[in-house]
Amino acid sequence: MERILIIAEKPAQAREYAAALGVKGKGQGWLENDQYVITWCIGHLLELERPEGYMDLEHVGKRWSLKRLPVLPAVDSFRRTIKSQTRQQFQVLQKWLKSSEITQVICGTDADREGQLLFQEVWDLVGCTKPLSRLWISSLTREAILEGMNQLRPGQAVEGLSAAGNGRAFADWDFGMNLTEGFTSLFGSFDTVRKKPNVVSIGRVQTPTLALIVRREWEIEQFVAETYFEISAAFSAEQGQYTGRWFDPAQENRRLTDRETAEHIAARTQGQPGKIIRAEQKKVSEAPPLLFDLTSLTVTASRRFGFSAEKVLELAQSLYDKKAITYPRTDCAYLPADMIPKLPAHLKALRQEPYQENVDEAMTYSVPQNKRVINTITAHHAIIPTTETVHLNKLPEAERQLFDLIARRFLAVWFPPAWYQQTEIVTEAAQEHFRSKGRILLSSGWKMVYDFEDAQDPQAESSGTTGKTRRKNKNRENQQEENTELPAVSQGDSVQTTEVRIDEKSTKPPKRFTQGDLLKAMESAGKQIEDDVLRQQLKGKGLGTVATRPAIIENLLQRGYIRQEQKTLRPTEKGTQLISLIQNRLPHAALLISAEMTGQLEYDLAQVEKGELALEKYMSEVEEAVIRIINELRAYEQKYGKTPLAQAPARSARSAESAKSSKKVHTSSEDQSDQTDKSAKKTKGAKEENGSSAARESGPEKLGPCPRCGEGVIEGNKGYGCSNWKSGCGFVVWKTPICGKTLSQAQMKSLLKKGKTPLIKGFKSKSGKSFNACLVWEDAANGKLKFAFNHD
């Protein structure tokens, strides 16, 4: 029998492929019929070998030190090992990749760099040479899957993507493994509170992101407030009353910093006659906001609902798995031209409450085709609802809130622009000038999609009045003018000044980053870019990728480099000392805190993906940088010796919440450094290792991945079973006492994560003798355990 093998990223994705292709048979770790075998990876099945695997430990020793460094394997010398908790699923993939029944292989993992990498790791280790194709889709609807199967890409078409995936992994390993060990050996210590080493974690993306937060804090600390004065005057004209604000026509941005001058102007103009020297009215349009990419979605959800970046990614992934939205890990806010004929189907899928009225009106307009909607895309287009009707009442509240943002943003682009009547009056009194502005909504256009108070939010994030760039202060100014109606005066009209008021104000320091603000800063490598169209044009040189930035922020919180205070992020003493040390004492290491330099590395990685830069060339630049920094650390050690940094503060409730959240969804942090910290949680790759259901907000806690199918294991009254039991997975470990001991939840978590429990004391043999042992898997897929007396 000749069959086609499809390898998905996780079980939920495999089930969608099976449903679309009519595959109903089930095996232990795969689905099948006469034409297809569909199996899955459960995220990364492999991990890069630790540095010790490349060392002569008898010569360099087991203790971290600079004399063991650098460890820089050649591109073709990096080795990967099979993770113990996913070994069984790897064996399933290996079996089918080598099977004589399989004549063609289709990579069906997520269509991005990390999805390609987790497949490529297995493909390379197995050494498969069968014909290979790539399934490239942006949603899991039946229509999208079948269309993708009819338009498979040749395996060679994604070789650049595979190379870039390896480049990301290898570079993060080089930076993280070498520099974390190097910095910790010089600046680390033993944390007597936590009873573990105070590791100084360094990462290619993590460290420059920390630098953004620390430098913002320094700006705030060094800020000196400046007092200034605003003068406003009330005028009476024949047509009505209005107010204006003083300005200097020779220097538009001039601030009055001298009270005496302000009082002199106020005294000169108080009660004086005035004259209208300019009165202009014009109609201006405001285009709908751009569609969402992951960053803008996160910023909006954070502002509206207080969601963390990690939370938004978790919710979006769950909506994608439920076929509610298109692929969420996208950095693009546009749609491709070939989607124009399909957009009405996406719109019709929203024809239910609370969107039905808006959908009906949107259908009276033509399909949106302007450049703010249809434009050049990157690997994936903007996030929009799919062609599947979503049962909103079945979604958890947080998912429903996020879907509502996406649905309304998609609806908005079908509607015409909003139109305003904008009025500007310049009044002269006693040779002083006052400006008055008003803005009246004439036609709501796309804003009718939003509730009245919500209409300001998308406007503030993006859109352009008559195509011009709009800065934050411009947005605030427009909001203040909103619904301000000025009298219909004309140039040359006489007025009377009825009141003059002086308001004392002071300049404000820069604001601390929120998670949303930080994501935008990471995207633009620290540059403040408010205009969304320009932001789309400058992508590619940011810190990390759209899918990995949330995990970077979570890692900084968990490692004690930053803390969250309400919605803002502040550096800890440990984080501040690290950046200060690098900036002031380690000039070669300064590239680690250069957002522009790290952004350039990300840009070079994109060139590897396009085939315009060889992977070996990219890695040679990384290796040279690591060598320079290690040599600099040696020189520092000779001159100053070991100088421990501050230890991380006690974990806050926010940090504990972050740690709990990160156990649900494992996204690539683009930093491999914490693999070297035995007490720190390992950063495990780019995807959800315990399947799509782990992203759900409600329901029992997922204790770890099911050894049989990869879904989450949950605790029941009588045992620990797979949450996928309704679909036929029979994995269970019963709570029946074993030699007098019942397996606890913590012990089960350890089993699922490490393949064994911690040492359990007080087992009773049949003769009544007490003994201590660990429990390990005898047959993981069937939940069978055995004792292990070697506790190392």
Task: Tell me which residues are annotated as active site.
Answer: 327
Tell me the two tokens of residue 699.
């329901």
C-beta of residue 403 within 8 angstroms of C-beta of residue 348: no
Give 130-167 as a DSSP string.
S-EEE---S--SHHHHHHHHHTPEEGGGGHHHHHHHHH
| Residue with token string 């974990």 | 651
C-beta of residue 109 within 8 angstroms of C-beta of residue 117: no
C-beta of residue 666 within 8 angstroms of C-beta of residue 684: yes
Query: What number of other Cβ atoms are within 10 A of residue 769's Cβ?
Result: 8
Helices H / strands E in the chain, number of each: 23, 25
Q: How far apart are CA 316 and CA 311, in angstroms?
A: 8
772 Cβ partners below 8 Å, 6+ apart?
A: 759, 760, 761, 762, 763
* Radius of gyration of the chain measured on its C-alpha atoms: 30
Angle at 535 between CA 532 and CA 538, to 5 degrees: 160
C-beta of residue 706 within 8 angstroms of C-beta of residue 712: yes
Question: Which residues are 504's β-sheet partners?
Answer: 229
- Position 308, amino acid: S
Give 745-768 as a DSSP string.
HHHHHHHHHHSBPPPEEEEE-TTS
Q: How far apart are CA 792 and CA 779, in angstroms?
A: 21
C-beta of residue 619 within 8 angstroms of C-beta of residue 171: yes
Burial environment of residue 528 by CB neighbours within 10 A (0 to 12, 13 to 18, 19 or more): exposed
Q: How far apart are CA 59 and CA 432, in angstroms?
A: 82
Burial environment of residue 210 by CB neighbours within 10 A (0 to 12, 13 to 18, 19 or more): buried
Query: What number of other Cβ atoms are within 10 A of residue 77's Cβ?
Result: 8
CA atoms within 13 Å, Cβ hemisphere of 724: 24
Q: Comparing C-alpha atoms, which of 660, 68, 742 is closest to residue 308? A: 660
C-beta of residue 558 within 8 angstroms of C-beta of residue 658: yes
Q: Comparing C-alpha atoms, which of 87, 149, 108 is closest to residue 9? A: 108
DSSP state of 787: E
3-class state of residue 409 by DSSP: helix
Sign of the Cα pseudo-torsion (357, 361, 363, 366, in order): negative
Tell me the two tokens of residue 87.
């070994």
Q: How far apart are CA 457 and CA 452, in angstroms?
A: 10
Tell me the two tokens of residue 187.
């600046």
C-alpha to C-alpha distances, 210 to 555, 657, 670, 684, nearest whole angstrom: 10, 20, 14, 21
Q: What's the farthest any 2 CA atoms get from each other in the chain? A: 109
Kindly report whether the peptide bond that precedes residue 354 is cis, defined as omega within 30 degrees of 0. Answer: yes
Please name the helix (run of DSSP H) or strand (run of DSSP E) that holds residue 579, with its range, or none. Answer: helix 573-585
Buried b (16+ CB within 10 A) or exposed e, 492-523: ebebebeebeeeeeeeeeeebbbbbbbbbbbb
| Residue with token string 């030699």 | 739
C-beta of residue 427 within 8 angstroms of C-beta of residue 275: yes
C-beta of residue 276 within 8 angstroms of C-beta of residue 493: yes
